[in-house]
């Protein structure tokens, strides 16, 4: 690997970090703009002027906003996310378990969804405009068009209630045997797969079809390669950048956008945790979760960028 | 055995189907009489408690902010789990009688002002220590302390001194109270080592199960306590688990799919569908629970009694009972007491009267809309009920604006904070307890802000009155006052509708609270 690539990658990462800092400012500012203050929210109805003043002092709310921001940022950088207002628990500890659950579910959904989407996309290109292509596209688009909760309830109805193959609720816990855990997440992972499948599949199909119009593919066809070999050797490597982009977008969705699926299957993940605390106006938790979600989004996008750079022969072999 | 036969024979065993009907239905399924009889006797044999297995309940009413501190218990999940690990001083039997637990005997002086609790020998805490009179006294002290924020504080304040000596705890009251033993059966008063003063949320008491896992808002699990003092009556399953399932559809699916053995709060609109599922039994029974719309009597515009009266008259109770509860309940009359309480007396039923409502509305001088906050979690069908209320009020010229609040956080942010919202009450075991919890000026849970010194005086006088006829008249007068001047709109009393899955046995209907007054997990067992 040559230095221009390393330089590009380093630039991307630096940009990502800068972006994350900017987002942290936005998150902090956003929660400051909200009406009322944290002390008022904690004390609620029983608030007296003295207790409000005491609590403001205790929480450092009398400092100017920028001092509080750097204080908060310093805490975040050293792994201290503060304590939740509503339950008094340490946020970092509570988030760790939840984040792990979310990543676990997203990982297995991705393991199924990404290869499946790409293979279906390749098959659709091979038989483009035939009935196989139309069937694959139709089914994938249909599964994406249904709302997530509808797919979730359908899966529950058939697989949990009628045939009783998988459990209807996906409560997972520490120390759960791996087999049981897999069985528990089978239905939510399937629901997520169905939701993200079409986007990736259609993008794969479109990107490869685009490349298929080029002269070198025609050459490959003329020299007698089979249709799949043309796609695999010539079309796919050149179409990979947009595919990676859309895959990463969907991976990000699997992590930050699964609230509905988590609620239906009673899965203790980040989405549920965030919603719980938003409804309680638990600002420190909302800030922490927002920052983590932003970090996930940005890092996945950086990975997509880097992968696209690395996959591009013109960047890999500069003149 | 086919699902259907199993279902039928269980119905016979629980007395819901006659033997003759069973034989007839069995014949219709092509089963011969001798075989059908054999089935029946096996269903009856299974009637004794079976030890072992894991009982699981999927319940609504748990949040990630729940705590094991009994003082802070408020929703269904901590309540039901508390009955598994906690032991009470005294409890109410399903028949409404007092059942002594940690107190072996409760006696009072003639003026009902001094009470003596004799503490039972040989009851053991989960940490191996023996329950002493000091522990009981410390428990009561903690719940009498403002700082504990206990839900029982309202009437615990009525206790002046708490003294432990030897095996006895002596309580002296500020005012005489003939109902004290009933008050001590409040679900918050779980006896903890040193009253939980050291670590209130340690989850240690002397109940039939020992807390093993506690993940608030997700699940709670416990194992049978080997040294439980009455192991023959409770603690049949080896383990119990409470899984928080706030989504009604997911809860029903979990029961049907067999992931849980029992659920609470089956929505009345799906009861008839669930009934037909083989293996599932609906457990519905009347109780003191009621669904309400509450107005703060001290907050504008609800500080005007004419406006309150207009809203009370603008609600169509019959329609609501039929449409929202599908008849699984009874009509309410704007005071929180019904025939399930001792000393209840009838008052003329308030009816839907748009004309009268219009009159009072005009007299109140209020103009514009009235904001009603509602949520799915307020009670099953609360959003539908609120919409019905909106429509019936519109006919009386009253514009109600609905605001749908998110479910999680409703009990912290809306109930007891906002001036007009939908809510529910589980009810209490005596009238005094109900009024002391939510209608005394000083009560923390006075969610209608009904602050009337004259009413407070009536509560205290009735409490001390030993003549039953006079007491009944006093409660009648109090009910009339709440009904005509309070902030409570009570359209209907609900029934508890729980459901159990296949193989759950030992269920006894209990009129006090849902899930057998919370004891379903501790008292039921799984058929072998």
With an 8 Å Cβ cutoff, are B412 and A44 in contact? yes
Closest-approach residue (CA) in chain B for A84: B65
Say if B218 is an interface residue toward chain A (CB within 8 Å). yes
Closest-approach residue (CA) in chain B for A46: B417
With an 8 Å Cβ cutoff, are B257 and A171 in contact? no
Q: Confidence band (pLDDT; 50, 70, 90) for B457?
A: very high
C-alpha distances (whole Å) from B322 to each of A60, B402, B426, B491 are: 54, 21, 20, 11
Q: Decide if pLDDT at A319 tops 70.
A: no
Average pLDDT over residues B370-380: 90
Average pLDDT over residues A165-175: 85
CA distance B178 to chain A (A): 32
Least Cα distance to B139 among B148, B130, B129, B126 occurs for B148
A72 lies in the same domain as A126: no
Q: Decide if pLDDT at B147 tops 90.
A: no
From A54, A77, A100, the end of a domain falls on A77
User: Is the Cβ–Cβ distance between B399 and B369 less than 8 Å?
Assistant: yes
With an 8 Å Cβ cutoff, are A168 and B409 in contact? no
Average pLDDT over residues B156-166: 90
pLDDT per position as a tens digit, A179-226: 999 999 999 999 999 989 988 999 889 988 888 888 988 898 899 888
Helix axes B431-438, B468-485, angle to 10 degrees: 40
Q: Is A240 helix (H, G, I), strand (E, B) or coil?
A: helix
Measured between beta carbons, which residues in chain A are less than 8 angstroms from residue B407? Answer: 279
Sequential DSSP letters for B119-148: EPTT-B-TTSPBP-HHHHHHHHHHHHSGGG
A263 lies in the same domain as A210: yes
- State the Cα–Cα distance between residues B41 and B18, nearest whole angstrom: 14
Residue A83 maps to a domain: no
Residue A292 maps to a domain: yes
**pLDDT at residue B518 in the model:** 94
**pLDDT at residue B19 in the model:** 55
Residue A82 maps to a domain: no
A109 lies in the same domain as A63: no
**pLDDT at residue B369 in the model:** 92
Question: B159 is written with which tokens?
Answer: 């206790």
Cis amide bond preceding B21, omega within 30 = no
User: Is the Cβ–Cβ distance between B60 and B495 less than 8 Å?
Assistant: no
**pLDDT at residue A37 in the model:** 65
Residue A183 maps to a domain: yes
Which range of A48-52, A157-161, B16-20 scores highest in mean pLDDT? It is A157-161
Q: Decide if pLDDT at B293 tops 90.
A: yes
User: Is the Cβ–Cβ distance between B185 and B88 less than 8 Å?
Assistant: yes
Q: Confidence band (pLDDT; 50, 70, 90) for B493?
A: very high
With an 8 Å Cβ cutoff, are A168 and B256 in contact? yes
Q: Decide if pLDDT at B26 tops 80.
A: no
Measured between beta carbons, which residues in chain A are less than 8 angstroms from residue B219? Answer: 171, 173
pLDDT per position as a tens digit, A298-318: 999 898 888 888 877 776 666
Question: A307 is written with which tokens?
Answer: 């992968």
A136 lies in the same domain as A276: yes
CA distance A269 to chain B (A): 10
Which candidate in B63, B64, B67, B217 is best for mutational testing of the A interface (most A CBs within 10 A)?
B64
What's A143's domain CATH number?
1.10.3720.10
Measured between beta carbons, which residues in chain B are less than 8 angstroms from residue A171? Answer: 218-219, 243
A217 lies in the same domain as A292: yes
Q: Decide if pLDDT at A2 tops 80.
A: no
A185 lies in the same domain as A306: yes
CA distance B391 to chain A (A): 29
A133 lies in the same domain as A170: yes
**pLDDT at residue B1 in the model:** 41
Partner residue opposite A169 with nearest CB, options B65, B245, B413: B245
Measured between beta carbons, which residues in chain A are less than 8 angstroms from residue B408? Answer: 275-276, 279-280
- State the Cα–Cα distance between residues B147 and B143, nearest whole angstrom: 9
Domain range for A71: 3-77
User: Is the Cβ–Cβ distance between B43 and B12 less than 8 Å?
Assistant: yes
Provide the chain A residues 276-315 that lie in CB contact (below 8 A) with chain B. Answer: 276-277, 279-281
Q: Decide if pLDDT at B257 tops 90.
A: no
Q: Decide if pLDDT at A28 tops 60.
A: yes
A17 lies in the same domain as A124: no
How many domains would you assign to chain A? Answer: 2
User: Is the Cβ–Cβ distance between B214 and B68 less than 8 Å?
Assistant: yes
With an 8 Å Cβ cutoff, are B215 and A156 in contact? no
With an 8 Å Cβ cutoff, are B243 and A44 in contact? no
pLDDT per position as a tens digit, A75-122: 888 888 887 776 667 888 888 888 999 999 999 999 999 999 999 998
With an 8 Å Cβ cutoff, are A169 and B253 in contact? yes
Say if B215 is an interface residue toward chain A (CB within 8 Å). yes
CA angle B478, B481, B484 (to 5 degrees): 145
Q: For chains A and B, what is the number of CB pairs under 8 angstroms?
A: 86
A40 lies in the same domain as A99: no
**pLDDT at residue B21 in the model:** 63
Q: Decide if pLDDT at B34 tops 80.
A: no
Average pLDDT over residues B199-226: 93
A260 lies in the same domain as A181: yes
With an 8 Å Cβ cutoff, are A281 and B243 in contact? no
Residue A85 maps to a domain: no
Partner residue opposite B215 with nearest CB, options A45, A168, A173: A173
Say if B278 is an interface residue toward chain A (CB within 8 Å). no
Closest-approach residue (CA) in chain A for B67: A87
- State the Cα–Cα distance between residues B114 and A170, nearest whole angstrom: 53
**pLDDT at residue A314 in the model:** 72
With an 8 Å Cβ cutoff, are B259 and A161 in contact? no
Question: A150 is written with which tokens?
Answer: 């509808």
Question: B375 is written with which tokens?
Answer: 């949520």
For residue B190, the cross-strand partners are B88
Measured between beta carbons, which residues in chain A are less than 8 angstroms from residue B215? Answer: 173, 268
**pLDDT at residue A264 in the model:** 85
Least Cα distance to B186 among B425, B430, B416 occurs for B430
With an 8 Å Cβ cutoff, are A160 and B257 in contact? yes
- pLDDT > 70: percent of chain B: 91
pLDDT per position as a tens digit, B93-136: 888 788 999 999 999 888 889 999 999 999 999 999 999 999 99
Residue A87 maps to a domain: no
From A77, A107, A141, the end of a domain falls on A77
Question: B305 vs B156, which has greater pLDDT?
Answer: B305
Average pLDDT over residues B288-309: 93
Question: B182 vs B332, which has greater pLDDT?
Answer: B332
A70 lies in the same domain as A205: no
From A77, A103, A120, the end of a domain falls on A77
User: Is the Cβ–Cβ distance between B116 and B147 less than 8 Å?
Assistant: no
Partner residue opposite B406 with nearest CB, options A86, A268, A279: A279
Provide the chain A residues 141-200 that lie in CB contact (below 8 A) with chain B. Answer: 153, 156-157, 160-161, 164, 167-169, 171, 173
- pLDDT > 70: percent of chain A: 89
A166 lies in the same domain as A227: yes
What's the predicted TM-score (pTM) here?
0.75
pLDDT per position as a tens digit, B304-359: 999 999 999 999 999 999 999 988 999 999 999 998 787 888 999 999 999 999 99
User: Is the Cβ–Cβ distance between B85 and B523 less than 8 Å?
Assistant: no
- pLDDT > 90: percent of chain B: 58
> What is the C-alpha radius of gyration for chain A, rounded to an integer number of angstroms?
24
Output the average pLDDT for chain A. Answer: 84
Q: Which helix (H) or strand (E) holds A199?
A: helix A178-212
Q: Decide if pLDDT at A257 tops 90.
A: no
């Amino acid at each position: 690997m040559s230095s221009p690539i390393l330089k590009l990658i380093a630039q991307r990462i630096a940009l990502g970090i800068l972006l994350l800092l900017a987002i942290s400012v936005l998150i902090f500012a956003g929660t400051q703009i909200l009406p009322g203050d944290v002390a008022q929210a904690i004390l609620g109805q029983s608030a007296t002027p003295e207790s409000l003043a005491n609590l403001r002092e205790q929480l450092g709310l009398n400092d100017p906003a920028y001092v509080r921001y750097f204080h908060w940022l310093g805490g975040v950088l050293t792994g201290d996310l503060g304590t939740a207002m509503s339950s008094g628990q340490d946020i970092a500890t509570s988030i760790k378990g939840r984040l792990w659950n979310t990543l676990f579910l997203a990982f297995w959904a991705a393991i199924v969804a990404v290869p499946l989407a790409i293979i279906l996309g390749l098959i659709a290109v091979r038989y483009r405009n035939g009935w196989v292509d139309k069937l694959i596209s139709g089914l994938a688009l249909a599964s994406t068009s249904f709302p997530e909760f509808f797919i979730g309830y359908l899966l529950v109805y058939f697989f949990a209630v009628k045939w009783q193959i998988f459990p209807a609720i996906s409560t997972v816990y520490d120390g759960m045997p791996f087999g049981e855990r897999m069985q528990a997440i089978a239905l939510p992972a399937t629901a997520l797969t169905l939701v993200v499948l079409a986007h990736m599949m259609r993008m794969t199909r479109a990107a490869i079809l685009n490349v298929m119009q080029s002269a070198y593919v025609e050459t490959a066809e003329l020299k007698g390669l089979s249709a799949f070999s043309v796609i695999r050797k010539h079309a796919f490597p050149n179409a990979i950048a947009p595919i990676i982009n859309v895959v990463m977008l969907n991976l990000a969705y699997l992590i930050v956008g699964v609230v509905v699926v988590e609620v239906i299957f009673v899965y203790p993940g980040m989405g549920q945790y965030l919603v719980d605390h938003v409804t309680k106006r638990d600002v420190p938790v909302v800030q922490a979760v927002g920052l983590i979600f932003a970090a996930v989004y940005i890092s996945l996008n950086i990975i997509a960028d880097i992968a696209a750079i690395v996959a591009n022969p013109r960047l890999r072999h500069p003149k | 055995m086919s699902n259907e036969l199993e279902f039928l024979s269980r119905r016979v065993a629980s007395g819901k189907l006659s033997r003759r009907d069973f034989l007839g239905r069995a014949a219709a399924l092509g089963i011969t009489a001798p075989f059908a009889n054999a089935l029946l006797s096996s269903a009856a044999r299974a009637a004794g408690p079976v030890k072992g297995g894991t009982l699981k309940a999927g319940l609504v009413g748990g949040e990630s902010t729940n705590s094991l501190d009994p003082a802070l218990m408020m929703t269904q999940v901590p309540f039901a789990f508390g009955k598994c690990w906690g032991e009470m001083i005294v409890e109410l039997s399903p028949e409404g009688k007092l059942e002594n637990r940690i107190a072996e005997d409760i006696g009072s002086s003639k003026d009902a002002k001094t009470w003596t609790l004799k503490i039972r020998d040989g009851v053991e805490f989960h940490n191996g220590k023996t329950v002493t009179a000091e522990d009981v006294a410390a428990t009561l002290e903690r719940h009498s302390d403002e700082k504990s924020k206990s839900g029982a504080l309202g009437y615990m304040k009525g206790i002046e001194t708490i003294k432990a000596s030897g095996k006895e705890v002596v309580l002296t009251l500020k005012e005489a109270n003939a109902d004290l033993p009933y008050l001590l059966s409040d679900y918050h008063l779980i006896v903890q080592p040193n009253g939980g003063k050291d670590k209130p949320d340690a989850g240690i008491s002397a109940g039939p199960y020992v807390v093993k896992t506690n993940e608030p808002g997700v699940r709670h699990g416990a194992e049978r306590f080997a040294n439980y003092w009455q192991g023959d009556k409770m603690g049949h399953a080896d383990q119990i688990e409470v899984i928080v399932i706030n989504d009604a559809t997911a809860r029903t699916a979990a029961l049907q799919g067999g992931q849980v053995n029992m659920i609470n709060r089956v929505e009345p609109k799906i009861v008839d569908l669930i009934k037909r599922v083989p293996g599932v039994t609906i457990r519905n029974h009347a109780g003191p629970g009621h669904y309400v719309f509450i107005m703060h009597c001290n907050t504008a515009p609800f500080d005007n009694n004419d406006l309150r009266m207009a809203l009370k008259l603008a609600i169509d109770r019959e329609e609501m009972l039929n449409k929202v509860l599908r008849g699984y309940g009874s009509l309410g009359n704007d005071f929180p007491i019904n025939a399930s309480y001792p000393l209840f007396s009838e008052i003329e039923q308030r009816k839907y009267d748009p004309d009268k409502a219009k009159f009072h509305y005009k007299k109140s001088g209020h103009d514009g809309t009235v904001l009603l906050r509602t949520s799915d979690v307020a009670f099953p069908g609360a959003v539908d009920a609120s919409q019905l209320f909106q429509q019936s009020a519109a006919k009386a010229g009253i514009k109600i604006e609905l605001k749908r609040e998110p479910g999680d956080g409703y009990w912290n942010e809306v109930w007891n904070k906002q001036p007009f919202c939908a809510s529910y009450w589980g009810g209490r075991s005596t009238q005094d307890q109900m009024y002391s919890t939510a209608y005394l000026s000083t009560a923390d849970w006075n969610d209608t802000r009904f602050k009337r010194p004259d009413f407070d005086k009536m509560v205290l006088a009735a409490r001390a009155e030993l003549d039953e006829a006079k007491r009944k008249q006093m409660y009648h007068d109090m009910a009339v006052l709440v009904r005509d001047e309070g902030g409570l709109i009570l359209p209907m009393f609900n029934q508890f509708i729980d459901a159990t899955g296949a193989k759950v046995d030992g269920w006894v209907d209990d009129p006090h609270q849902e899930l057998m007054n919370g004891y379903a997990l501790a008292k039921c067992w799984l058929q072998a």
